[in-house]
Amino acid sequence: MSIPDLAVQQAALAMAEALSEGGLITVSTGAGMSRESGIPTFRGAEGVWRTFRAEDVATPQALYGDPALAWQFHDHLRQLVTAAKPHAGHCALAQLAGSLSPSVRLRIVTQNVDRLHEDAGSRDVIHLHGDIRRVVCTACDFQDDAYPVPAPACPPICTCGGLLRPDVVLFGEPLPSEAIAEAWRLAQECSAMIVVGTSANVQPAASLPFVALESGATVVEVNPGETPLSPYAHYTLRGGAATVLPSLLEALCHALSAH
């Protein structure tokens, strides 16, 4: 057994131990979760914020000040997201959730605006930062979960004359209050948390693992790089989500059935 395999086994055993009386597994995912599906991360050498400045394209001021530029940026991401398919890590999460005993539940909280968890079969996913595939009107009630990609105009305008926008949280905007309340509850109540592919830089999502740690949960980080969470997580598994998650969840499944 190699050292990384050993770390995966140890993390799985610790999670199973924490879940020996049943309980909740909360999985918190960020942009790195979708990296191997072809969607770039935001930070890091190949991150989106190397090419664009967030304040130019992803703030309310940017959207209303230069809607064409903001839409150019978001429509590029919409095209990548629409073309993307879930990878083995997304699928392993959905499969595990469907095969757990009734006393153990798994819920996903994501910062990602793609729907790759749902595409893989996961249900009741909490979306903290919205859904880029959904388009809403800034002036009326119009919303479309499958708005054309690419958008028919840049920027697209509603039949009411209002500016359309992707249904994502822009910098400076509040997060959907129900989503953040539910995420907080899932962090407080879980016995084990898996944190996948987030730089742990953006609040309030970055606080969720710390809420879980304070509540006594076993916290496992899956990330090829160091993050501010790494020194505090019980286990840090260095590698990509598409390879590490399937091994971890398979080991967890075995460990849970042995308990």
The residues assigned a catalytic role are 129
If the CB atoms of residues 26 and 223 are measured against ligand OAD, the closer one turns out to be 223
* 44 interacts with ligand OAD by CB under 6 A: yes
Q: Helices 88-99 and 241-258 sit at what angle, rounded to 10 degrees? A: 20
φ and ψ of 202, to 5 deg: -105, 125
Q: Indicate the residue among 32 and 155 with the shorter CB distance to ligand OAD.
A: 32
Taking the complex as a whole, the smallest distance from the CB of residue 258 to ligand OAD amounts, in Å, to 28
Using the rule CB under 6 A, is 42 a contact of ligand OAD?
A: yes
By CB under 6 A, name the one of 122, 223, 236, 247 that touches ligand OAD: 223
240 binds ligand OAD per the rule CB under 6 A = yes
Verify binding: residue 166, ligand OAD, rule CB under 6 A: no
- Residues 175 and 99: beta-carbon distance below 8 Å: no
Map 49-63 to HEC letters.
HHCCCHHHHCCHHHH
Distance separating alpha carbons of residues 167 and 171, to the nearest angstrom: 13
- 75 forms part of the interface with ligand OAD (CB under 6 A): no
Single-letter residue type at 100: L
User: Least CB distance from residue 223 to ligand OAD, whole Å?
Assistant: 5
Question: In angstroms, rounded to a whole number, what is the distance separating the alpha carbons of residues 206 and 169?
Answer: 16
CB of 132 to ligand OAD, least distance (A): 9
| DSSP-H helix ranges across 40-111 | 54-57, 60-65, 67-83, 88-99
Q: Minimum distance from CB of 251 to ligand OAD (Å)?
A: 18
Q: Which residues does 18 contact at the CB level (< 8 Å), separation at least 6?
A: 191, 192, 217, 218
Residues near ligand OAD (CB under 6 A): 30-32, 35-36, 41-44, 47, 111, 129, 169, 196-199, 201-202, 222-225, 227, 240-241
